[in-house]
Structure 1
Amino acid sequence: MLTSITQWHDRLNAGTTDDEEPRVRQFGLRPVVHGQGWGQSAPTPEVWAWQQPDGRPSATPTSGDVRVGFTARRFHLGHVGLARSVAQTLPEDGRVLLFGGPDTDQGAVRLFEHMLTWFGAPDCSVEVVPDDDDALRRTQREALAVLHVGKLARVYGWDDSTPASVFTDLGTMLGAFLHAPSRADRRDVVFVDAKQAAHSVALARAGRALGLPTPTLLYRRLFPSLRLPTGRGSVKDPASTIFLDDAPADVRRKVRSAVTGGRDHVDDQRARGGDPVQCPLFASVELLRPADEAQATLVACQSGDLLCGECKALHVEAVARSVVDLGTPSLRAGGRRPATAGAGSGDRP
C-alpha cells in the first residue's frame, strides 16, 4: 500500500522507466528513483529521468533558466502539470523562456504566468522568444550547419520516405535548447518527453561544435487520458482531458465519466481497495487539489473505504472550481494558491 503522494509519484516514475527502457539504454537517460538521481532530490516529482547531453558534471543542474516550448492555444491538464513542474524547478532569480511562434497569444502567456503563480513559483521574469527572432534564427542555422545528415538519419531512423520538414523541426528544437544560455556557472533546464530523447544526440554534437553549453533535459511523465486505461490526454481528443476553458458542466461530465483504477466488483474493491496508480481521476485530484486532500483520497482509495463513484461525487465540484480558478487569472488578481495546494509531493509544502 502506498502511504504518501511521494510514493505514488515514485511508482508512476518506475513504470514509465520500464516502459521507456529501450530509450533509456539507447540515449543514456538517467532514471530518477525514489526522488533521487543526481545527488539531490528531484526538483519536481513528475520528472522520471534526466540527461546532460554534453556529459559535463553539474552540481546544481536546476540553477539556471527554465526553457519551455510554447505553442499551446488551449491549455489542458498536461499544460497545468508542466506549469507546476516549472514552478517547482525555477530558482529564485531564474527566468522562464517561452519559445513560441511570431503570433504567440499574449493572453496565453498571461495565463501561463498565472498558473506559475498559482503553484507558488517565485517572482520571476517570463520572456517570450518568438520563432522569427533574428538571433534565434541564427542559432538554428548555425546548429544545423554543423550536423551531418547521415549520422542524424541513423539516430532518428530517417529514410527515403521522411519529409524534409524534419530539418525545420530539428532546427526549432535546437534553437530552443541552445539560444541565449545563462551565465557560464549555471545550467539551464528544458522539460521534454521521452519521444524527444533522440534530440539529445544532435544537441550534444551541435553544442560541442559551436562551443555552447547544453541544458539539462528533464523528462516528464505525460498526463494520462481520462477516457482510456492507457495513453495520454490529447488536444486531438477533447474527451481525453480537461481544458481550462471547459464550461463547469463539461468538467463535471468528464470527471463523472473518467476511467478509474477500481476493481470489477464492489465487494472486491471494499476488500482490496482501488489502484490510484492506474487512475487518471486520482491524477487530476493530485494535480488540482490541496496535497492533504489528495493524501486522504490516496489512503481511502487503497483501503476500500472510498469507491470510485463516491470519489467522483466527493471531488467533482472541487475539481470544477479549481479549473475555473486556474483558467481565470483575474479571479486571483495575482494571488498565490494556498501553501498546501498542488504540492505534488507529500514532503513539500
Structure 2
Amino acid sequence: MLQWQHQGIEHQAVWRSESGLPAPRRVMVADDTMPADTAYRLACEGTALLWQGDFQNARHLMEAIKRRLDKPARSHSAKARKAKAAAADPVGVAQAFHLHRQAQGQRARVLGSILIPLQADYSIALRRAPDWRAACIQAWGAPAADAEVQAVSLRELLGVVGAHEWRKQGVPVPELGKAARIHPHYGVFSPVRGEYVQLVKEAPLPEAGRALAFDIGVGTGVLSAVLAQRGVQRVIATDMSPRALVCAQENLERLGLSDKVQLQQTHLFPEGQAGLIVCNPPWVPARAVTTLEQAVYDDNSAMLRGFLSDLRAHLLPEGEAWLILSDLAEHLGLRSRAQLLEWIAAAGLRVVGRLDTKPSHGKAQDSKDPLHAARAAEVTSLWRLAGVSS
C-alpha cells in the first residue's frame, strides 16, 4: 500500500507497478503550485509526488523534469569525453553499456516520480483528466468488484495508453502481405524491427520442417504466421507469458491462420520433435527490469543457452533449427562469437548456414546515441543449425 498525509488526513492507495518496483517510502502531495525545479529536486532525492492538481499540468511537469534530466546529457563535459574515449576497446564498451543502463534506470525512476491516483474503476478524478479506462482494462483486466483506489506513475500510465493505440492501429508487416498488420498487446514486444521477420521469410525451408515446426517464444505470433503462410502444415508455438499467448491468438485469428498454429504456455519446448524449430531469444545478456525488457535482455544468456542445450532432443534427425540473433552483444563486449560457437558445439549442433542483414532502425543512425558505434556495426543473423552426425 502507498500511504501519504494531506491536510492532516491519512490516505492510502494500492500501489501498482508493472516492473515490480516497491512502493515509494516518501510521498508528498503535489499540485499546480509546485515549481518544476522543486519537483525535480524532490524526484532526484527519491520523493514521489502524488498529484492532486490539473491532470494536463502533471504532464507538463513531467516534460519539464525530462528537460532538466536531458540537459546534462547534452553537455560536452570531461566525464562524457572520457566515457566516449573508453568505448574504443571492448572493456570500455561493456562499461559504457552498463553505465548507460544505469543512467537510463535513474532517469526512469525520476520520471516515474509523478503519481496519479486511479479510482476503483480506473477513472481519474482530476481536472481535465482524460478517460483512459478502456486502455487500463485492456492492459490490466477488468477491475475487481472490491477494487480500491490505486496509485500508478504517470509515466507508466502513458505507456498503457501508448500500447492501447499500438494495439488499435497495429504494426505493418509487409512479409505477411501488403495490408497485413500485427497488433501488439501491452507487455508484448512489438515487431517494429522487421529485419528478423524478413530473414524467416527468406530462409530455405527444410523438407523435414514442412509438416511440423516449433516457434519458441511466440510473442505477437508474427513468426508463426510467416511459417504458416510459407506452407508449414502445423506450428506449435510456446511462450511463458499469458499476455503473449492471448496476443498471438488474436493476431493469428485476424490473419486467418489460427487453425494452423497451436499455442502452449510452457518454458521453451513442447513435447515431441519437429523438423523445424525457430527461436528469436532476447539478444542482450543483461537483467531485464520491466516486462517489455524481457524481450530484449536475457540475464546471463539463460534463454539462449537453455534453447541450445535442449534443442537436439526436440529436433528430428533431418531437421533444422533457426536461431535468430543480433550480434549487438558482441560489439558491446558482453558475449563473444567464440562463446556462442562453443555453446552450439557443446549442444551437439553444427552450423549449416547463416543469413545476415543490417538493421535499419533509427538508433543505428543516431551518432549522439552513447552506444552508436556498437549499434552501427550490428548485424542480425539467422543461424541454421542441425545435429552433428553420430
Give the structure-2-normalised TM-score.
Answer: 0.26
Structure holding more helix per residue:
1
Structure holding more strand per residue:
2
Kindly name which structure, 1 or 2, has the bigger radius of gyration based on alpha carbons: 2
